[in-house]
Every structure is written in C-alpha cells, then in structure tokens.
Structure 1
Amino acid sequence: MKSTAGRPELTDTQPAKRLRVLIADDEPIIRLDLRKMLEDLGYDVVAEAGDGMKALEAARTLEPDVAILDIKMPQMDGIDAAKLITEEKIAPVLLLTAYSQVDLVCRAKEAGVFSYLVKPFKEADLVPAIEIAMSRWQEFLELEKQARDLEDKLETRKSVDRAKGILMDQYGLKEQEAFRRIQVQSMNTRKSMREIAEAIIIAHNI
C-alpha cells in the first residue's frame, strides 16, 4: 500500500475533477495570486495571459474547461475575448471585474459571460462562481443541441414529405406505402431517412 504522507488531502471546497483553467489579467501579481488560489483549490491552471488576444489564442489552442478573464486588458478586453470564446463554444467564461457599471454588466451578458466576480474576492468565492459558470454552460450547450435537433427534424420532415410525393406520383403509391419504402431503404442501406429522401429528390430532378 502506497504511503499518502505529504499529499494534500481533498477538502469540501476542492472540485472532484481537476478542471483545466485559463486565467487572463494584465497585472502579473493578480495572475500569481489567482493561480495560487486555484491550485490550492485543486484546479489545474493550464495557461496565463496578460491581454485578451493572447487569452483567446490560448483558449483556442488548449480548450480549457473554464476561462477566467479580467475585463480591463490591452489588445482586446475581457468582454470581447469572452464573446469570441463563447461563440466558438470553447469554454464558459468567468469574468473578473473591479467595476459594477450597468453598461459593463449588459455588455458581459450580451457577450455570453456565464458568471463573474467583483474584485477583491476571496478564495472561497471562486468555487461557487466557477460551478455557476460550468452549470450555465452545460445548460447553454444543451439548448444549442435541442435547437439543432429540432432544425434537423424539421428539415428531415420536409425532405421526406417531398420524397413521398415523388414516389406517390411515380408509382401510384399511397402515402403510407411511400413512407414505408423510404423507411425500408433507410434500414437496408444504414443511411438516415433524410439522406434517402434527398437522394430520391435529386434523382427526380435529373
């Protein structure tokens, strides 16, 4: 049995999984303090950046589980970087700010920021803020998936309806018979009904 001497014990505030975190702030001392807090809590800081552009590049390259960005940074501010990170569906963004102006809060919401902390903050504030960001991110991804699935179902239905009409006209089939023919072809070829329907439509248009 291996000795556990010298190993830090997990506490109630430490995450069950070592989440990979990107941090960005133009002040090195803030990044140093933030890194120490995160590592003490059991997180894995995979990259640091001193401006928004480098933060975006690091996010694209490393695909962290969460990005913690300061608002006021050179090259590109944290809100603009957060907008691109969110649009590209890389990771949830937790924003650090010493500001509480309404316009910044509105910009942050529009950019898709999922959580934020007002400076100065304590180590104990980090875990709840990160958990909120992660939870909202999962909800966002699920809604995106549902929207894509719904769109795909609508497109599939339109294609199948059109293909059924073609088969009914060409072969004098009833609607249910035409649908069954598409369904059987889908199973036999291991292709989706949408693919079969679109093939019928293309063949009809040649």
Structure 2
Amino acid sequence: MTEKRQRKILVVDDDRLILSTLAQGLGKLGYEVMEAADAEEALARVKRQRPDLALVDVRLPGIDGPALARRLQEEFGVASLFLSAYDDRDAIEAAAAAGGLGYLTKPCNVQDLVPALELAVCRARDLAALREREAKLQQALERNREINVAVGVLMERFRLSRQVAYERLRQRARHHRCKVRDLASQVVQLTEAVNSFLEDHRSAKTQR
C-alpha cells in the first residue's frame, strides 16, 4: 500500500461481525483502524485519538449515525462517510443533512471502499483547510474595523462572498505595495465621501 493511503479510519457499526470484517479488511490494506459499536464509544475514542475520517453506519442504537456525524464534525472536526444496509430516501437525506461526504450501501467488498475512502479523506482535508481560512479571515476582520467595512463594501458593490472580497482587497494591496489596512482605509474614506456627496445632492433636490 502506498504512503498516500496510510490513513486512520474510525469504523462505527453496531453489527459486531460487520465491524470486525471491515476493521480486519481495512487493516490488511494498510489503514489504521479504530473500532466502535455505538456513538458513545466512538466519541470516547475520538477524544483520545483523532481519525482522518469516520465510516459510520446510519442506523445506530441511541445516537444515530447522522447525529453522531454532526457531533464528530462540530466537536472534533472529523468528517464522516456513511455506510448502511438501507438506501431509502429518508436515510440518504438525513446523511446529506449531517454533512456526509458519501453514502455507501452494504454489503460491499472492503477493497471497493478504498476509492470512496480516499476521496472522502481528501475532501475532508480541503473542507478543513477552507474552514481554517475562513476562521482566520473572521479573526482578521474582527481585529480591524476598516478592513471589515471595506470588505462589506466590496461584497455589496460587486456581489462577492466575504472570502473573495477579502482576497480582492489583499491582491490589490499587494499590487500597489501597500498594507491591506491602508487600502481598506482608503476604500472606507472614498465610500463615505461618495455617500456624503449623494446625501447632499438629495437634500439639495428636496429643498428645491
């Protein structure tokens, strides 16, 4: 097995035979496997050691698979790939609403899981990196009012997302070899000047 596939996978299934089969099969393929028969056991294991991905059965006793997936993501930043014997619409929609990175039906060959696992791990890492960038952006905006206001102006004027608006501002600052904060200050000042001019113009028209 290549180094690229050496991942740590949490497998959660209340069927002990399936759990053991998946764990042994994935272990033979080079994965490090963490096993759990229910949500509580899964959460306890993840508190001690973080996996790259969770392979979760949709229907678990107590806390069900989708609810577990939400907690794994929100509390530990661990994404989930669902595995279930059921392929009805309700189960699939519940998995999608919980942020699942995929939905596989049982029974399945362990070898056939590998492409889905690898794709899900890569996507999970991309999403984690995106969330980290967004968190850093939010922190930067909270620290500086003018950058926050300038980004808001660009978002409204050009219908951009917050991330894209900030990137445009940062690229422009780099192009002009100035600090983002200084460029943001100019944007805010110009916006305030234009707004003031328009307000004066409207007032003058009203007085006529």
Q: Same fold (TM over 0.5)?
A: yes
Aligned counterpart for 1:82 among listed residues 48, 61, 69: 69
Where does residue 145 of structure 2 map in the other structure? 158
Look up the equivalent residue of 1:23 and give its one-letter code: V
Equivalenced residues, count: 152
2:197 equivalent in structure 1:
none
| Equivalent of residue 27 in structure 1, options 15, 38, 48 | 15
Higher helix share: 2
CA distance in 2, matches of 1:32, 1:67: 15
Aligned with residue 44 of structure 1, among 22, 32, 55 = 32
Offset of residue 115 of structure 1 = 2.1
Report Cα offsets for 1:32-80 as digits up to 9, x if no partner: 11012101211111x3211122112212222112211111111211111
TM normalised by structure 1 equals 0.65
Paired amino acid for 2:75 = E
Q: Indicate if the aligned counterparts of 1:15 and 1:41 stay in contact, CA closer than 8 A.
A: no
* Alpha-carbon distance, 1:124 to partner: 2.4
Cα distance in 1 for residues equivalent to 2:147 and 2:102: 43
In 1, the alpha carbon distance for the partners of 2:35 and 2:108 equals 19
In structure 2, C-alpha distance between the alignment counterparts of 1:96 and 1:15, rounded to whole Å: 25
Match of 2:84 among 97, 112, 120: 97
Instruction: Quote the RMSD (CA, aligned, Å).
Output: 2.5
**What SS does the corresponding residue of 2:17 show, helix, strand or coil?**
helix
Asked if structure 1 preserves the Cα contact closer than 8 Å seen for 2:58 and 2:95, the reply is no
The answer to whether the Cα contact below 8 Å between 2:11 and 2:56 also exists between their aligned partners in 1 is yes
Change (3 A) 1:17 1:120: closer
CA contact (8 A) 1:82 1:93 kept: yes
* Greater displacement, 31-40 / 140-149: 140-149
- Identify if the C-alpha distance between structure 1 residues 25 and 15 changes in structure 2 by more than 3 Å, giving closer, same or farther: farther
Do the aligned partners of residues 14 and 116 (structure 1) sit closer, same or farther apart at CA in structure 2, a change above 3 Å counting? farther
Deviation, 1:92, is 2.0
Question: How far is the alpha carbon of 1:155 from its aligned partner?
Answer: 2.1
Of 122, 126, 144, the match for 1:135: 122
Residues 140-192 of structure 1, C-alpha deviations (whole Å, 9 max, x = no match): 1122122223222322331789xxxxxxxxxxxxxxxxx89xxxxxxxxxxxx
Structure 1 match to 2:108: 121
Q: Which amino acid aligns with 2:145?
A: K
| Residues 48-59 of structure 1 aligned to structure 2 (within 5 Å) | 48-59=35-46
Tell me the alpha carbon deviations over residues 106-164 of structure 1, each in whole angstroms, 9 at most, x when there is no partner.
Answer: 22122121122111111222111111211221121122122223222322331789xxx
Indicate if the aligned counterparts of 1:14 and 1:41 stay in contact, CA closer than 8 A: no
Q: Would the aligned equivalents of 1:60 and 1:90 in 2 still touch at CA under 8 Å?
A: no
* 1:16 matched to 2:11: no
* TM-superposed deviation, 1:102: 1.8
DSSP 3-state at the match of 1:88? helix
The reply on whether 1:66 has 2:53 as its aligned counterpart is yes
1:162-181 alignment to 2 at 5 Å? Answer: none
Counterpart amino acid of residue 140 in structure 1: L
| Cα separation, 2, equivalents of 1:160 and 1:31 | 51
Q: Which amino acid aligns with 1:137?
A: A
What is the percentage of aligned positions where both structures have the same residue?
33
The letter of the residue matching 1:56 is L
Aligned CA distance change for structure 1 residues 102 and 112 (closer, same or farther; 3 Å): same
